[in-house]
């Protein structure tokens, strides 16, 4: 059993580390396809302080108090319990192995068991939250997980549960293997597991340690292999991309990036519109392709965890509009990673790439589009179509009082409106007559459409014009 455990553990570790290094190199290459940007490395000392404060303190996550607290325990466990993975490799060769210096230190042992149990309870709490809020039925869009890749979240949560159970089992087996020399002071939260295993022989306990250590290593490196083969798996990769993403924030002190609009950049240099004639004719203004985003934007896309907090606060999504900031970012991330091979290839090699690589599509993007269509309830789609129809129908308030949110009716610039400051008094026989058209005026732009008679009233028996009754009522409801 020991030899089998060693071979399996070493092989899967080598494969996983090789794939992980390749995935990191690929993500860095994808981020580099973005445009250069300025002002992301000033005041490095302050940036380090901001990064440590927001990561170790979870200052952003704690805005959602209960979720932030649970996530903090998992974050601490992910880093601190790495030592238990190193210890598991040692236990493959010696069942009684312990880390040098700190392995038998009571403070380290207490911290290991306490963090393990808190991590297990925290992940069970997050699993409960995910199950309770999972999108289902007609109201699925109101879940913040609507559109997220649920299997990825469940996979990561199952990995954490498995690792925690393996650590508890290993600690209990170590207690039982020590026999009478074991002290509850060194196994404060797992001694009862060891007492349950005390009936096994020393060889059986050693075999159990080899087996559980191998399982722990296999679980850990299976997770590494899965995320290495899914570079858009933000729910796992954010553990690594969040650090540089916070360090390269727009403001070194970490304040929100609100306020005045940033200058438009071209190649990382602000555009001076007074010298616009001197710019190259191929200069891109704004974003027309995914490679027009800056490298920091692509890093933001890659760091998305699909938690849906932005979507849950979006007024457009919560009023059954098709806009979702989470799905928007996820689509951009998938598109950037799908198109990266084309952007990285030489000009002579681009023609031989598959079509999905040239267009930035592929299976992932197609699945995302199908998921968007399937997650949109039929009623929301019908309401959206009706809303768009209503927006195209000229309504009475548009005809009488146009404003910046509505386009002018064709021919509006050729209509002379009455002066509202001095309303014209209609003469005999002029009640309800339309305003006559006059020749086009030079200053006619923006004057708006004509009105239908005095105050836009219709005669008795005259059919309604300018609005559909049913669509009008639906529009008022929207």
- 10 Å Cβ neighbour count for 465? 11
Confirm whether 136 is domain-assigned: yes
Domain final residue pick, 230, 252, 282:
230
Domain final residue pick, 162, 195, 230:
230
Q: Are 23 and 158 members of one domain?
A: yes
Residue 288, judged by CB atoms within 10 A of its CB (0-12, 13-18, 19+), counts as: exposed
For residues 205 and 197, the answer to whether their CB atoms sit within 8 Å is: yes
Q: Are 381 and 353 members of one domain?
A: no
Once rounded to an integer, what is the mean pLDDT over residues 8-27?
95
**Domains held by the chain: number:** 3
Q: Are 345 and 384 members of one domain?
A: no
Q: Are 222 and 355 members of one domain?
A: no
Name the residue range of residue 340's domain: 322-375
Q: Are 396 and 351 members of one domain?
A: no
- Name beta bridge partners: 269: 266
Confirm whether 300 is domain-assigned: no
Confirm whether 26 is domain-assigned: yes
pLDDT at 164: 94
Q: Are 91 and 201 members of one domain?
A: yes
Confirm whether 284 is domain-assigned: no
Query: Is the predicted pLDDT of residue 437 greater than 70, yes or no?
Result: no
What are the distances in angstroms from CA 409 to CA 387, 415, 420, 451?
Answer: 19, 11, 20, 11
Confirm whether 352 is domain-assigned: yes
Q: Are 339 and 393 members of one domain?
A: no
Angle, alpha carbons 316-133-66 (nearest 5°)? 95
- Does residue 437 sit in helix, strand or coil? strand
pLDDT at 391: 43
Q: Has this prediction a pTM greater than 0.85?
A: no
Residue 285 token pair: 């203004």
Select from 297, 313, 179, 187 the least CA-distant residue to 245.
Answer: 297
| 270 vs 273: CA distance, rounded Å | 9
For residues 359 and 454, the answer to whether their CB atoms sit within 8 Å is: no
Confirm whether 368 is domain-assigned: yes
Q: Are 203 and 71 members of one domain?
A: yes
For residues 316 and 59, the answer to whether their CB atoms sit within 8 Å is: no
**Phi, psi for residue 247 in degrees, rounded to 5:** -60, -40
**DSSP 8-state code for residue 64:** S
Once rounded to an integer, what is the mean pLDDT over residues 385-389?
39
Confirm whether 288 is domain-assigned: no
Q: Are 109 and 149 members of one domain?
A: yes
266 CB contacts (<8 Å, ≥6 apart)? 279, 283, 284, 285
For residues 255 and 268, the answer to whether their CB atoms sit within 8 Å is: no
* Residue keyed to tokens 């934007």: 297
Q: Are 333 and 393 members of one domain?
A: no
Mean pLDDT of the chain: 77
Domain final residue pick, 230, 263, 296:
230
Q: Are 110 and 214 members of one domain?
A: yes
Alpha helices for 94-188 (secondary structure H): 106-132, 150-178
Residue predicted with more confidence, 269 or 460? 269
Q: Are 91 and 143 members of one domain?
A: yes
| 456 vs 87: CA distance, rounded Å | 83
Once rounded to an integer, what is the mean pLDDT over residues 307-327?
88
Query: Is the predicted pLDDT of residue 68 greater than 50, yes or no?
Result: yes
Confirm whether 258 is domain-assigned: no
């Amino acid at each position: 059993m020991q030899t089998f455990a060693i071979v399996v553990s070493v092989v899967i570790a080598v494969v996983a580390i090789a794939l992980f290094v390749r995935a990191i190199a690929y993500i860095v290459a994808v981020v580099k396809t973005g445009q250069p940007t300025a002002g992301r490395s000033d005041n490095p000392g302050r940036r380090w302080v901001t990064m440590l404060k927001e990561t170790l303190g979870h200052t952003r996550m704690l805005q959602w108090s209960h979720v932030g607290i649970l996530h903090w325990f998992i974050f601490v466990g992910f880093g601190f319990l790495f030592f238990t993975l190193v210890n598991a490799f040692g236990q493959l060769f010696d069942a009684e192995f312990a880390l040098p210096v700190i392995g038998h230190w009571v403070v380290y042992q207490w911290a290991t068991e306490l963090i393990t149990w808190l991590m297990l309870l925290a992940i069970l709490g997050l699993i409960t939250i995910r199950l309770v809020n999972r999108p289902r039925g007609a109201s699925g869009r109101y879940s913040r997980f609507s559109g997220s890749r649920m299997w990825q979240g469940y996979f990561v949560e199952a990995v954490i549960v498995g690792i925690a159970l393996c650590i508890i089992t290993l600690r209990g087996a170590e207690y039982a293997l020590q026999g009478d020399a074991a002290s509850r002071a060194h196994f404060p939260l797992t001694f009862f597991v060891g007492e349950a295993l005390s009936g096994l022989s020393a060889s059986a306990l050693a075999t159990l340690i080899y087996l559980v250590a191998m399982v722990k290593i296999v679980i850990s490196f299976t997770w590494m292999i899965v995320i290495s083969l899914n570079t858009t798996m933000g729910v796992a990769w954010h553990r690594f991309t969040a650090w540089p993403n916070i360090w390269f924030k727009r403001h070194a002190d970490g304040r929100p990036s609100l306020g005045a609009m940033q200058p438009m950049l071209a190649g990382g240099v602000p555009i001076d519109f007074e010298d616009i004639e001197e710019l190259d004719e191929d200069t891109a203004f704004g974003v027309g392709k995914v490679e027009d985003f800056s490298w920091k934007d692509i890093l933001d896309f890659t760091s998305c965890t699909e938690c849906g907090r932005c979507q849950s606060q979006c007024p457009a999504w919560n009023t059954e509009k098709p806009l979702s900031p989470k799905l928007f970012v996820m689509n951009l991330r998938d598109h950037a990673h799908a198109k990266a091979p084309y952007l990285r290839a030489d000009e002579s090699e681009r023609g031989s790439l598959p079509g999905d690589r040239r267009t930035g599509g592929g299976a992932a993007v197609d699945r995302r589009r199908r998921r968007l269509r399937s997650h949109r309830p039929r009623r929301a789609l019908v309401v959206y179509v009706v809303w768009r129809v209503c927006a195209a129908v000229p309504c009475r308030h548009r005809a009488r009082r146009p404003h910046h949110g509505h386009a002018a009716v064709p021919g509006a610039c050729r209509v002379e409106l009455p002066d509202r400051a001095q309303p014209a008094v209609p003469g005999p026989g002029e009640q309800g007559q339309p305003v006559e058209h006059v020749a086009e005026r030079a200053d006619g732009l923006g004057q708006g459409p004509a009105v239908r008679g005095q105050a836009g009233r219709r005669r008795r028996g005259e059919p309604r014009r300018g609005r559909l009754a049913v669509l009008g009522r639906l529009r008022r409801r929207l």
